[in-house]
Structure 1
């Protein structure tokens, strides 16, 4: 799963925010000679140590790429200074996320939460979607990315092949013209490199790999001593191109962690799911179970919120259409099998049979499968059934068999 992630150019800005501001403060303080008898300085030093200690825990930061008021890029990142790892989870902007009162097809995409309810709306949606707590946010722009790369003197990367592409409709318009080979890319060229998506034999995976290599090269560049003389200019550039609720103390603490515990690994993932259509409108449908597992693994050490989590709830997904389900009424209550079959159908599952069970006195509901446990768990989660069993004697036409018991009356 770690191989699949659309690394945004905006994470680079976020890292630059921390490294740029904090390294400057850190090295400046190293060169300040403090009077030995200064009680106020000693007090300040003591407070500083406590603040750094208090900020040692992982925090989940929401990064948003703002393109003229639209959230072009959305992802959550967290830095573990003890493991020296960065965790990043991208949320496709077309992720299906229906909200009460927003009924137009375009309003059912998660990026609409930002355009209509701004950062508070998007933050709430992401917390709900992933079942995690978002501690802070950073909002960044394309122009800021270009300025930062220019400020640090460019980034050296290996362009794997000639990249040529033009799109006058894109916002901003996209014109890419890069030659193959190792070279130092300026801001405009770097933007072209990380936005390029055509020509990779592996499709989007190839672009992801290229973005990962760019990010590694960027981190290498900004963590070398040669960057220090450029810190004042970098700080000015950052101040013009970002919005965040991180305080100066927060940024400094993160930066010191980066300096002292340089990240060795970047674990990047994309929200599990796949693209599909509902009502003739294109969406990215999250795989509910896998999404919950990935979010918990990457950010689960953070405080969870009490949430109705869309991931944990059941929503329509075209993935479900590949699962053939038979639903049986294991009680004497009329219409119970039809009731739950309809629920599965509304969620996209392919219900191939609705009938009464041979035995009509089931006290609990059960989900059975013939060696398709992943599919059975999806169905069980959709109906909130806890009993999931494997039965190799089942009808081969069905991936999953559901028996509705008295607990579902």
Structure 2
């Protein structure tokens, strides 16, 4: 039976959970996992799952309600939308907070992958409650309705916010990112600016500084760098640039010939890195077949940013005012129309 939700206790739980976990606002690992699984199966499983046939007439996750933008979205074969979720989930947790979300519009016909990071404090509408922070949706829904439904409700909130259907989701956490990078032998990250670790996960890394440029980093340091915010230009938006650098580093390392032999073992270990996903083995095979022939991450992976403003707003879920991010609706709509629609 789901726990009975008490708003006062819920606020306390929110604060305790954040202090306890201090979890990274990661997002990029899940795409790396899907690329590992997809490219591994694409290289080693000779199945005829052509992307244009497999990714066709896809079913969206959750209900999009009366959002006319979602209803009017035109589907195209070989194209799909994925929501990557970085959470503070620990082993055995039945409820977790959304720490980061990235919407990916994958076009396997043109080999383009447009990504949009959505700040965790973005103001969204939650069915049955009203307006709240995006990070709250999954946690509260999981407490009341169960683990899977919490993910579906978070996906639905993002779909309604952006106006696009979301066909797949994949969730990971801090430990998965660290293990994944270590499993491929570390990566190179090209840092666009100076980074100082001001709230490191490990005390031994607190205060470490990295100059702009290329650095060889292991899983622990990738996790630390993608967690940093306060020393960066644009804080959350600076973090998105570091996440992009890490994702490109992971993708480039995985596609090196010397790493191809690691793919089967990695694909068999996806459960170690992945908390939850609705992607099947067939989906991953088809994705791998679509990606492997012409994959140039630095040219094809593109980050799109939508600016927002911080504001103190009333949270209908918590029945109190708190700090939220209000995305620029004009910029959001134009970005979605240009890069995330068919």
Q: TM-score, normalised by structure 2?
A: 0.70
Residue in 2 that maps onto 1:235 = 267
Q: Choose from 308, 313, 316 the match for 1:278.
A: 313
Q: Which has the higher contact order (CA 8 A, sep 6+)?
A: 2
Residue in 1 that maps onto 2:35 = 19
Query: Which consecutive segments of 4 or more residues in structure 1 shift more than 6 A?
Result: none
1:121 matched to 2:137: no
Give the whole-Å Cα distance in 2 for the aligned partners of 1:274 and 1:63: 23
Residue in 2 that maps onto 1:73 = 100
Q: TM-score, normalised by structure 1?
A: 0.60
Give the whole-Å Cα distance in 1 for the aligned partners of 2:44 and 2:128: 52
Give me the CA root mean square deviation.
2.8
Give the whole-Å Cα distance in 1 for the aligned partners of 2:42 and 2:232: 41
After TM superposition, give the deviation of residue 145 of structure 1 in Å: 0.6
Give the whole-Å Cα distance in 1 for the aligned partners of 2:82 and 2:204: 28
Residue in 2 that maps onto 1:356 = none
The number of residues matched between the two structures is: 272
Does the 8 Å CA contact 1:144/1:238 hold for their aligned counterparts?
no
Give the whole-Å Cα distance in 1 for the aligned partners of 2:217 and 2:128: 46
Task: Please give the per-residue CA displacement for 1:144-164, whole angstroms capped at 9, x wherever unaligned.
Answer: 111000000001235554634
- Partner SS, residue 122 of structure 2: coil
- Partner SS, residue 300 of structure 1: coil
Task: Please give the per-residue CA displacement for 1:190-230, whole angstroms capped at 9, x wherever unaligned.
Answer: 11111122333565554433332222222111111111122
Residue in 1 that maps onto 2:187 = 155
Task: Please give the per-residue CA displacement for 1:107-127, whole angstroms capped at 9, x wherever unaligned.
Answer: 711222211221111121112
Residue in 2 that maps onto 1:59 = 80
Matches within 5 A, 1:71-110: 71-99=98-126, 101-102=128-129, 108-110=132-134
Give the whole-Å Cα distance in 1 for the aligned partners of 2:50 and 2:219: 38
- Partner SS, residue 27 of structure 2: helix
Does the 8 Å CA contact 1:154/1:187 hold for their aligned counterparts?
yes
Give the whole-Å Cα distance in 1 for the aligned partners of 2:42 and 2:127: 47
Give the whole-Å Cα distance in 2 for the aligned partners of 1:206 and 1:163: 12
- Partner SS, residue 103 of structure 2: strand
In terms of Rg, which structure is larger? 1
- Partner SS, residue 303 of structure 2: strand
After TM superposition, give the deviation of residue 292 of structure 1 in Å: 2.0
Q: Extract unaligned runs of 5+ from structure 2.
A: 1-23, 56-76, 90-95, 142-149, 315-320
Does the 8 Å CA contact 1:58/1:80 hold for their aligned counterparts?
yes
After TM superposition, give the deviation of residue 183 of structure 1 in Å: 3.6
After TM superposition, give the deviation of residue 73 of structure 1 in Å: 0.7
Give the whole-Å Cα distance in 2 for the aligned partners of 1:22 and 1:78: 16
Q: Extract unaligned runs of 5+ from structure 1.
A: 1-6, 31-44, 302-409
1:247 matched to 2:280: yes
Shift in alpha-carbon separation, 1:174–1:284, aligned structure 2, 3 A: farther
